[in-house]
A and B are shown apart, each in its own frame.
Chain A
């Protein structure tokens, strides 16, 4: 009986990416980068500045285009697909909480816009009255009392509240992949903890595939099924499941220190 082949959800093949090509500041980041993400996996990516972790996310989302190689999502080649088209399958939460929602629109209007993702934005009523209860019910999941403030402009919310809302908004409609781009980095410790717990809850309950870039090594160790450490465009450490469970913050720090010594710092 032939073994069933499970295709990875995301696959990078021979990716090449150079920044500032043709100038004195030219820097080669990815020379021949190969990377794949299994369906249902929750990956934490760590690494120092300039290691290529954010570039990795930007290449998946289409905010950056590779110089060579192919990127596929769910078996389809998306290498040249524009960012907004990929967004139909990808949800993304940014470091800056103000990007995740529209500040001058109300919570309700933001929810309604997000709920309509992938459908046509036509001349029918923007906020359907029938859906308001559903939106409130979703907002209750955040435990921030936002369900009682649905007519408040998002601009009046705190960073922590906005980021929790951004997380909810980006996972409101079915998506294949959730991208978390240092999404707790700009928050105070309590909000950061809350958003991280919500993230884990949503990823588990909605059975999402997620890639989270973080500078918080504890989060990287505690959450997710796989841990990738990037350095100069190479995955220097890549552990999953029970191997990852054995990994501690100290282990990661040791690898970081070894790299730093190699770099002569």
Chain B
């Protein structure tokens, strides 16, 4: 039973790690508090449900989910950059609009199930696993996905485009000095961040074989907590990349939630606990920095 619980923590941890890495790009690198994540997470799930029901290859559904998330993320960016709407409000607008869009995608149903249809967890590449490993296929697959996304983001952050993105979060006047519009850099970062978030939603939906339009509630809080915990706890480990810290943060966060449930916390209190965890992680990060007055 204990091993089963640990497996659950890691399995969900790796899925949320996909989102945490996306939020790492927007929050940590671009310094953009992006609330559209609450809308793009279920968007990925709904895209998965709609496409898989139509008989589309589940891996193609993953790519489609990423693109759909990236599209909504760039809308957040456009609202902020081109129309001058504040970062928080741009995210809220997209989050609200996503609600309707997600329902349109699922044809109006709040929970769309697709039991016994091919997903990434029961068809294709996992079939090649030896019998001994097949029972752990979900964990193996989400672990590999997290590693692939991590390596892809690490590579991207070292490219010319990635360096410019990091420069944009650091010092937008420098980007202007390089003859590039810093607004475009923000839009690109938001697209990638929300693409990763929608991918996480898509993978979770395929694991559960259903998509819930309400699945996005509290995702921003969860992803931010994962990023802040990960980068806070592992800050002193210099050889760890930021993306790795986000992955570890997501797993630690899931472990905290699981431990609380195990200790008898009713699931009604879950969102309250999530908010408390984020608050604690921000406060402890502040105390960790000397003086304690630095902004989070």
Q: CB-CB < 8 A to A123: which residues of B?
A: 156, 159-161
Measured between alpha carbons, how far is A89 from B182 in the docked complex, in Å? 17
Which residue in B160, B173, B181 is a CB contact (below 8 Å) of A122? B160
Q: Could you tell me which residues of chain B, from 166 to 185, have a CB within 8 Å of some CB in chain A?
A: 166-167, 170-171, 173-182
Interface size class of A (residues with CB under 8 A): 20 to 34
- B171–A113 touching, CB < 8 Å: no
With most chain B CB atoms within 10 A of its CB, the pick from A88, A113, A123 is A113
Contacts of B160 in A (CB 8 A): 112-113, 116, 120-126
A selection of 15 A-B contacts at a CB cut-off of 8 Å is A83-B176, A84-B176, A84-B181, A87-B176, A98-B171, A102-B166, A102-B167, A102-B170, A104-B166, A112-B163, A116-B160, A116-B178, A122-B160, A123-B160, A126-B159
Neighbour of A117 across the interface among B159, B179, B182, CB < 8 A: B179
Contacts from B to A (Cβ < 8 Å): 156, 158-164, 166-167, 170-171, 173-182
Interface majority SS on A: helix, strand, loop or mixed?
A: loop
| A101–B174 touching, CB < 8 Å | yes
A interface with B by C-beta (< 8 Å): 82-85, 87-88, 91-92, 94, 98-105, 109, 112-114, 116-118, 120-127, 170
Docked CA distance A122–B159 (Å):
7
From A92, A104, A121, A125, give the contact of B180 (CB < 8 A): A121
Cα–Cα, bound, A105→B171 (Å): 10
Please give, as numbers and ranges, the residues of chain B lying within 8 Å of A125 by CB-CB distance: 158-160
Quote the shortest CB–CB distance from B213 to chain A (angstroms): 34
Do residues A102 and B174 form an inter-chain contact, with CB atoms below 8 A? yes
Which residues of A are found within 8 Å of B166, using beta-carbon distances? 102, 104-105, 109
The winner among A112, A123, A170 for most chain B CB atoms within 10 A is: A123
Interfacial chain B residues near A85, Cβ < 8 Å: 179
CB contacts (< 8 Å) of A91 on chain B: these are 177
From A87, A103, A122, contact of B177 by CB (8 A): A87
